[in-house]
């Protein structure tokens, strides 16, 4: 199994993933849905535009995003801040963010608004089904980030850097997971 470019040599972040995926030489890219519009824009990604779709993660999961909103503990205007957050996260504003910025929403109400628009209904069919049937995340345990994820991440890293074969590495990871679950 080979992996290009080698993770031993190059740090890969979102900007690298976009440019690498944009070459058309990669079958998939794990990216958040905000890239969907960019990847289908012929002026940005002429090789892959019109050929990109979205799919759920194995097991029917989607993943939660990393953006959060909140109100400061010491805010002197908590009621106004709350009203603003309600406005900002409303279905109407989420739909507007899609129309103006290309960011597919996670709110079912906003998806319904967008899907009712004939121009967007066809392209949004899959997305509507995915969001309405997907789980937010697989269930997690207290040991997920401290024990389980490092085990699988190490196995994948060993594999893609040519330091082991997939099946033995994954079998070893599974054994380590069983031990961690029993402890």
126-144: per-residue pLDDT in tens? 666 666 655 555 555 666 6
DSSP state of 57: B
Sequence-ordered list of residues with C-beta below 8 angstroms from that of 65, at least 6 positions apart, any chain: 32, 106
Structure-derived torsion over alpha carbons of residues 93, 99, 101, 105, reported in degrees to the nearest 10? 60
Q: Which of 136, 143, 145 is nearest to 182 (CA)?
A: 143
What's the pTM value of the predicted model, to 2 decimals? 0.45
80-112: per-residue pLDDT in tens? 999 998 888 888 988 888 777 777 776 778 878
Contacts 24+ apart (CB under 8 A), 26-35: 32/63, 32/65, 33/103, 33/104, 33/127, 34/102, 34/103, 34/104
Q: Which helix (H) or strand (E) holds 111?
A: helix 108-115
pLDDT tens string for the chain (183 positions)? 555 556 666 566 666 777 888 899 888 776 666 677 778 889 989 999 988 877 766 666 555 554 567 888 888 999 999 999 888 888 898 888 877 777 777 677 887 888 787 777 666 666 666 666 555 555 556 666 677 778 888 888 888 788 888 889 888 988 998 888 887
């Amino acid at each position: 199994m080979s992996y290009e470019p080698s993770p031993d040599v190059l740090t890969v972040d979102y900007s690298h993933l976009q440019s690498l995926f944009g070459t058309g030489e990669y079958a998939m890219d794990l990216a958040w849905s905000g890239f969907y519009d960019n990847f289908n824009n012929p002026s940005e990604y002429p090789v892959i535009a019109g050929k990109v779709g979205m799919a759920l993660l194995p097991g029917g999961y989607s993943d939660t995003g990393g953006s959060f909103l909140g109100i400061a503990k010491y805010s002197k205007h908590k009621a106004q801040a709350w009203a603003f957050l309600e406005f900002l996260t409303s279905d109407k504003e989420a739909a507007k963010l899609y129309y103006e910025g290309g960011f597919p929403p996670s709110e079912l109400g906003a998806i319904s608004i967008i899907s009712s628009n004939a121009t967007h209904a066809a392209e949004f069919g899959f997305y509507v089904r995915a969001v309405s049937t997907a789980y937010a995340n697989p269930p997690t345990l207290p040991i997920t980030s401290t024990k389980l994820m490092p085990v699988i991440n190490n196995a994948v890293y060993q594999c893609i850097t040519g330091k082991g074969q997939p099946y033995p590495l994954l079998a070893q990871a599974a054994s380590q997971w069983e031990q961690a679950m029993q402890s």
